Structure 1
Amino acid sequence: MAFLRERSGAFSPEKIVALLLVLAPLGWLAARALSGGLAPADPFGVAGGALGGGGLGGGALGADPALAARPLVEAIRYIGEWSIRLLLVTLAITPARRLFNWPRLLAARRTLGLGAAFYVVLHVGFYVADIGDLGMVVREIVLRIYLTIGFIALVGLLVLSATSWDGAVQRLGAARWNQIHMLVYPITALGLLHFFMQQKLDVTEPTLMTGLFLWLIYWRIAQRFQHGTGLVAMIVVAAAAGLSTALTEAGWYLAATGIDPWRVLNANLAFSYSIRPAWWVFGTGIAIALASEVVLKLRPLPVRRAARPQVTSRASSSAA
């Protein structure tokens, strides 16, 4: 099992945990499929109710009996949601590595990314099995825009997966390889759009996932300006992500149903009824900022020393 080992030959805890995270939802799905009766709610789910309805808790499969009347439909939805979650976890590796001074965490990124791609392939495979007619599947992908968007994301993930090995970096060169793997951002955005479009009325979880994705993007912008670990900058990132999440939710309901966006935005202040995704995103961002502040005080990042300019012999003689 070389893929679970470090270069030294020792087992990598980070790779092992990443693999278990990839396999856990499949194990849960298999358990529910084999239960034949009422099964506990999905412990990993975060889906909520419709606008103004239930909070976060309950899963993609909720408390439905086993996998409900159409098991493949439920499995398609469950696997699709987990593909988005794993993509976000993969993108979270880079900020987590820096915010918590955990360089070895980078070893888990490939396993998580390939796991997300596998889930998307499985998602499409279940869809094909449910339709039962490959020609019909092709027509649906061409004619239904949300399926077209999902298929484009699938192709993009397959390209990234095909180049996710050490030899690909050497053959393509580091610069070109990095350019190709920057596609993960538009691919994730397409996956989230696909998620929104197939959810119809209840977009609580797509909104939450989009908010977390925006937090990851905003953190990278802060990091580019050398503020990726500053407490004030992290609070600003959390606030910007939370506000963007609320605007995304309001904009989606306006475009999809014509609901007054102010009504949606006001729902974010109805704490007695539910906690909207924007607050979960903001709270998550604040929690990460505070946790990082504590960890980096106990285990500070190494100080980067500026390289001294090299002085040539000709320059030295001229100066003399």
Structure 2
Amino acid sequence: MRPALLALLVAAALSPSLAVAADETPKPKTTQELLDASQPSDWRTLDPADTLYLELASGRVVVELAPDFAPEHVGNIRTLAHEGYWDGMSINRSQDNFVVQWGDPAEEGQPRKSLGSAKTQLPAEFERPAAGLDFHALPDKDGWAPQVGFAAGFPAARDPAGGKAWMAHCYGAVGAGRGMAADSSDGTELYVVDGQSPRQLDRNITLVGRVVDGMELLSVLPRGTGPLGFYEDAAQRVPIEAIRLATDVPEAERPKLQVLRTDTPLFDAVVESRRNRRDDWYKRPAGHIDLCNITIPTREPPAADAP
């Protein structure tokens, strides 16, 4: 028998088994399938000492503070919230594709509310030493930093050569407004990123945390018509009923929120499921993902997992 004919016969005999083998290749799990198979150890419960509740007429916005990145600011914010500094104030700015901001609406030069026992000035906390921070890097390059990933549950960046790390201005990031001087923030003027991630602000302003629940209440606010999106008419401002630290709220009134840990194999798999989408709709996996395009899932724990 000629070699060429023999090769054809062998290929024909093997092709059904090869087809079966190909069909048996496990289909990559979707993000939701990975989350559905998660274990209680893949999730963490928010620390009440690092959780703020922004109470609006439309509902509650939950903010997780980041003491690992901005300990001085977080300490001041805890004091301000505990003493009711923001109660009765308002959201004064909603700039399209940028930020929502709240604080004392008094115009410059007018008397402002006392800070109580909080500090009137804080050091700039734009970055911190990378040493001692459990940093989980993404595999892809970033245009804003030598390395990006997650640390302490927050989107972050790192310069291994310079030995510095910092939080990234991703959607939902909460920052402390300042003046021209780097150390001119006192933590009273807070903003939330609600547009395209303004990473140019990284290491130029102190980030103090991120919204983990309730972003939809902020992203739908009417845009301000004044410069930088400030409301020109006081009637346009959105009243703040209260901003409270979770430790000052009865446990029965705290939402039982859990956040997916970012230092587990499951989270790595979730990132990969978003980085290379293999859902039936996608025809070409991207092979790349931007840091700020990775959403950290939250949930209310199933009854079987609840403490």
User: TM-score normalized by structure 2?
Assistant: 0.24
Which structure shows the bigger proportion of residues in strand conformation?
2
Which has the higher Rg, Structure 1 or Structure 2?
2
State TM-score, norm by structure 1.
Answer: 0.24
